[in-house]
Amino acid sequence: MEEQHEQQRLKALAEQVASEYGEAEQATRQAEESAAAYLEQVIQIVKFALKAIGTRPAISRQVRNYADINGSDDDEALYDYRCVCLSSTSAGPYENNPRQNQGSYRGVDLLLREDGKMIQMTYEGGWSRWQGSSWGWEAVIVEYVTPMEAFADGWGWQDVDEWIARLANDLEASVGERKDTAKRNLERAERLQACTTLLKK
């Protein structure tokens, strides 16, 4: 009789845990979907300004140090699009063991491209301070069609508020930034037009 009672108790506990787990999973799915929809709306709202606030991140760097210590070749390739980094203040790899003479480059960033697409850059490579060494890193780029794809790839929907706050900060910091440049260029255009008119006479 006691064994039957224990089995019933265990069954009731298992059913309760399974039910709570199912509710939690459903709530997580709903939160993910809501975060994705919110982020998609924000991207559509700010998309036309992304080119203005973005930069062209480096996608590779190759360095060759000459053995005679007279210099080095340092070639850096930039991405074709301007991007805003969502996952940190700026995109790029980090050096592991920076106090050593050599090591590896690692890191991963989530960026928002000027066309509104989210991309992931994963950095891999090595670095060296040895004379005559050659080293470098490259970024592997993955493009996400929707925020849900980014979430499925490990980017947390819980970070969406932080990403949007970073976008807002970048936009606020850029307000008025180009007014002086625009004014100078308009004045220069007017002077050049006046000179062109004089030369035609």
Q: Which element (helix H / strand E) includes 175? A: none
What is the Cα 106 distance to its own chain's centre?
Answer: 15
The answer to pTM > 0.85 is: no
pLDDT(96) > 80 = yes
**pLDDT for 167:** 94
Length of the chain, in residues: 201
pLDDT tens digit sequence for 2-28: 888 888 888 888 888 888 788 888 888
70-98 average pLDDT score: 89
DSSP E strand stretches across 129-176: 134-144
Find the distance separating the first CA and the last CA of the chain, reported in whole Å.
115
**pLDDT for 67:** 62
**What does the domain layout of the chain look like in residue ranges?**
44-184
pLDDT tens digit sequence for 152-178: 999 999 999 999 999 999 999 988 766
* In contact, 50 and 119? CB cutoff 8 Å: no
Query: Would you place residue 128 in the very low, low, confident or very high pLDDT band (cuts 50, 70, 90)?
Result: confident
Query: Would you place residue 185 in the very low, low, confident or very high pLDDT band (cuts 50, 70, 90)?
Result: low
18-41 average pLDDT score: 88
111-129 average pLDDT score: 95
pLDDT tens digit sequence for 60-69: 999 887 666 5
Which amino acid is located at 106 in the chain? R
* In contact, 47 and 83? CB cutoff 8 Å: no
Mean pLDDT for the chain?
87
pLDDT(184) > 80 = no
**Across the chain, which distance is largest between two alpha carbons, in Å?**
115
* In contact, 135 and 124? CB cutoff 8 Å: no
